[in-house]
Amino acid sequence: METCDVINPRARRRNRAKIYGIVAVVVLAVSGCGGEETAEPAKLSQEDLTMLPEATTFAALPDAAKDAGSAATAKVIHPKADLVVYQSVGGKAIAKLPTNQVGSPTWAPVLSEQGPWAEVLLPTRPNQASGWVRADPSEVESAENDYRIDVDTAAFSLELTKSGKALGKWKIGTGKPEFPTPKGRAFLLASIEETVNKYSPIVLPLSVHSESHETFGGGPGTVGIHTWPNDSFVGKANSDGCIRVPKEALDALVKVPLGTIVNIT
C-alpha cells in the first residue's frame, strides 16, 4: 500500500481557473478611514524586485511576520503580476507573491487591512507566515470568499461552511503522532491532478508544511487534503501529515474557491 502522502507540488498540475466569476469582484479600499495616513514603501528597482524570493510553497521567509490569529476578512486577492510583500506596512520588502502557485492561480486570503494595505497569509515556511501588500486595483483582483474549512484533529472531523452555514461534515484521517498534521490557520493553495501516485485523483495542497518532514517525496513537505484507496484512515492518525478525506468530501472541496481559509485545531 502506498503510504507517501505529503504532497509533491511538482506533480502534474490541474488547470483550475477558480470560481470567482459567480461572485461580484470588488476592489480593496484605497484610502484609510477618517483620514488615516499609511506609510509609503520605498520604490524598488527592477533589479531589487528580481532578487526577491518568490512566496511559494518551496520558499522559506524567516523575516516574515506570523499570523496573529485575529478574525480574518472575507476577502481574497489575486496578483496581476509579481506583487511585492513587505514585512510590515511601509516596511522591509521580503518577497514577491507570484500570479500562480503550483499551476493554479494565486488567491491569498486577506487577514486585515490598513488603508491601501492588505495583510495576507503566505504559503511559505514557516507555517502561518504573513506579509503586507499594496492592494491597488491596478495590481490585484479581489473577491469575496465566505467559505471556510474547519479541521478538528482530535475529533477527526472536517466541516465545510459558507457564510456560517454547514455544507457538509465528514470523518477524516490525520497525521501520525510522529508526523502530526500542523495546526493553525492555513488556506487552500492549489488543485493538482495526481498522476504519479494512485491514492487520490485530485490533491488539494494547503499553505502549510509538515513540521516533521523538511522534504518529502521530492517536494518541500507541503501538507494537503486528498482521498485514500480504502477507508482504513477514517478516525485514525495514520498519515504522514496530510488530511485524508472520503470521496464525498473531496468532491465537495474541489468546488471550493482557492484562497479559502482552513482552520486546523
> Is 242 a catalytic site residue?
yes
Q: Which of 78, 209, 213, 226 is catalytic?
A: 226
Q: How far apart are CA 3 and CA 72, in angstroms?
A: 35
Beta bridge partners of 148: 161, 261
Residue 74, number of CB atoms within 10 A of its CB: 14
Give the integer Cα–Cα distance in Å for 86 and 135. 12
| Residue 4: active-site member | no
Residue count of the chain: 265
Q: Mention every residue, 6+ apart, whose C-beta is less than 8 A from residue 77.
A: 28, 107, 108, 110, 118, 120, 133, 135, 140, 141, 142, 259
Closest CA to 138 of 79, 192, 222, 203: 79
| Bridge partners of residue 206, in order along the sequence | 188
Torsion-angle region of residue 241: left (phi > 0), alpha (psi -120 to 50) or beta? left
Q: Are strands 222-226 and 243-244 parallel, antiparallel or unpaired?
A: parallel
For the annotated catalytic residues, the residue numbers are 226, 242
